Amino acid sequence: MFSLEPQELIKQFPLFDQELASFISEEAETKTFNQGDVLMRPGQFFKYAMLVVRGRVKLFREGDEGEEFFMYYLEPGNACALSMLCMARSQSSSIMAVAVEETEVVMIPIQHMDNLMKNYPSWYHFVIETYRTRFEEVLNVIDQIAFKNMDQRLEWYLKRQADVLGPNLNLTHQQIANDINSSREVVSRLLKKLENNGTVVVERNNIHWKG
Amino acid sequence: MFSLEPQELIKQFPLFDQELASFISEEAETKTFNQGDVLMRPGQFFKYAMLVVRGRVKLFREGDEGEEFFMYYLEPGNACALSMLCMARSQSSSIMAVAVEETEVVMIPIQHMDNLMKNYPSWYHFVIETYRTRFEEVLNVIDQIAFKNMDQRLEWYLKRQADVLGPNLNLTHQQIANDINSSREVVSRLLKKLENNGTVVVERNNIHWKG
DNA sequence: AAAGTAGTGTGACAAAAATCACACTTTAAT
DNA sequence: ATTAAAGTGTGATTTTTGTCACACTACTTT
């Protein structure tokens, strides 16, 4: 654990002002997670608000039978909205957050929240903005699964992946199927259709998005 | 428009402390919406944070082709999470909020937010709690449509309705179909199955939940 | 009371998606 | 180099859900 320079923080979080960055730099610690590490799991207490400064975190919902459903990525400059909903929780099935690469996270102990909210307006602007963004994101997910068919959902999924990871997606059909809660065969077939459209180029372990 | 006594507010919003309730009572206005009135529609600016003190508001998502998808109700003591995400927004398709009965809403002008956040800790606790609750709710919706079949989704839908509206649900099969984005015939058939299970009693314009 | 309308029931069929079976191909392991 | 493992392609079949057609019932309106 080590802390981060205020200037570095502001670069990642442009909404922060000088005093806020200094405070966080002073009081928060930085932790590095390895690929595959779980940052957050269902039914967990939070002792920190988590800000991603490097790497990438994948958020997904887990079903009762262990199914997974991809929600969104947290990237540098993002905060984990749920980690800021500090109060206790212990629901049957909640959300999972896993580092998909080596990831550096600023951890702000929960006991500073009152102070931050009260004395650092740029903090609560950031919090509000974080919620808004995530809420929108989640609503878009609902649109997709409520209103769209698999082919459109797959396309939307790939597009989002490409927006974050770049056009070269190192994904197997099985992994995609897991993320959108479908099956490998269905994904294979739909990918073929997208390839015929010219939307993607399909290779082993790799989908090239041309959207 | 008229304002509300602090004591009345606290009764509805137990998280509010005395000073907060006084401030809101002073600065906010109360507005009454009739059944069917739209409180919020896609791509709208918000000038107020809205707190429901009487009645009921239905929140649902609209699809590109005008489909609807029920999300949740706001009841007395609830606030509209999205109305508090004040900043400008104009997304293609967003959320709809409609009064399902005569509904009284406390409208807090957006320009008081900074002050409220800064000087009334019980306000931001309330805001955080509002977000948390809605976020959870929306995640549960995702679970249902991502992982469950229509029969289970219908059952869950009816259960939620019954939790809010009581066991006697004045709904037609068509209305239910609209809310869960299915079709009337499917709903009819599944209701029959639920009736055989003893989960509901089906009558014209009325479903009696026995869960 | 007759006619109209909204709500419901049900069979037949179509479409979307999941599942099964198995062939084949590329990469990794021994 | 041979085997094993992981990834992909594809037809056949089943399940789930949506659609169409039409009958029927219970309320409303005149």
* Secondary structure (DSSP) of A78-98: -B-HHHHS-S----SS-EEEE
Give the distance, in angstroms, between residue A30 CA and nucleotide C6 C1': 64
Q: How many CB atoms lie within 10 A of CB A59?
A: 21
Q: What is the pLDDT of residues A75-120, one digit of tens each?
A: 999 999 988 876 655 555 579 999 999 999 999 998 999 899 889 9
Contacts of B119 in chain A (CB under 8 A): 118
pLDDT over 70 percentage in chain A:
95
Element (H, E) at B71: strand B68-74
CB < 8 Å to A66, chain B = none
Q: Is the pLDDT of residue B91 over 70?
A: no
What is the pLDDT at residue A92?
54
Closest residue, chain B, to A82 (C-alpha): B132
Q: What is the pLDDT of residue B89?
A: 58
| Model confidence pLDDT, tens digit, residues B131-168 | 889 999 999 999 999 999 999 999 999 999 999 999 99
Nearest chain B Cα to A144, which residue? B63
Residue B92 pLDDT greater than 60, yes or no: no
Q: What is the pLDDT of residue B79?
A: 97
- pLDDT category at A154 given cuts 50, 70, 90 is very high
CA torsion, ordered B110, B112, B113, B114, to nearest 10 deg: 130
Select the residue of A95, A117, A146 nearest B145 (Cβ to Cβ).
A146
CA distance B65 to B67: 6
Note the CA–C1' distance, B184 to C8, in angstroms: 9
pLDDT tops 80 at residue A1: no
Within 13 Å of residue B200, how many CA atoms lie on the same side as its CB? 31
Q: What is the pLDDT of residue A138?
A: 96
The number of residues in chain A equals 211
Question: Could you tell me the two tokens for B82?
Answer: 């999205």
Q: Which of B85, B142, B147 sits opposite A142 (nearest CB)?
A: B142
Question: Given this model, what pLDDT does residue A211 score?
Answer: 85
Strand D within 7 A of A204 CB: yes
> Do residues B199 and B211 touch, judged by C-beta distance below 8 A?
yes
User: Is the Cβ atom of B67 within 7 Å of strand D at any atom?
Assistant: no
Among A127, A131, A137, A150, most B C-beta atoms within 10 A, so best to mutate, is A131
| Residue B87 predicted with pLDDT over 80 | no
- Average pLDDT over all residues of chain A: 93
* Mean pLDDT, residues B46-53: 92
Report whether pLDDT(B94) > 80. no
Mean pLDDT to the nearest integer, A36-59: 92
For chain A, percent of residues with pLDDT exceeding 90: 81
Least confident of B105-109, B132-136, B156-160, B205-209: B132-136
DSSP B85: S
Are the beta carbons of B87 and A128 separated by less than 8 Å? yes
B149 CB less than 7 Å from any atom of strand D: yes
Q: What pLDDT score does B157 carry?
A: 98
Tell if the CB–CB gap between A121 and B114 is shorter than 8 Å.
yes
**Closest to A71 (Cα-Cα) out of A168, A170, A179:** A179
Residue A39 DSSP label: E
Mean pLDDT value of segment B109-127:
91
Q: If you average pLDDT over each of B41-50, B84-93, B181-190, which comes out highest?
A: B181-190
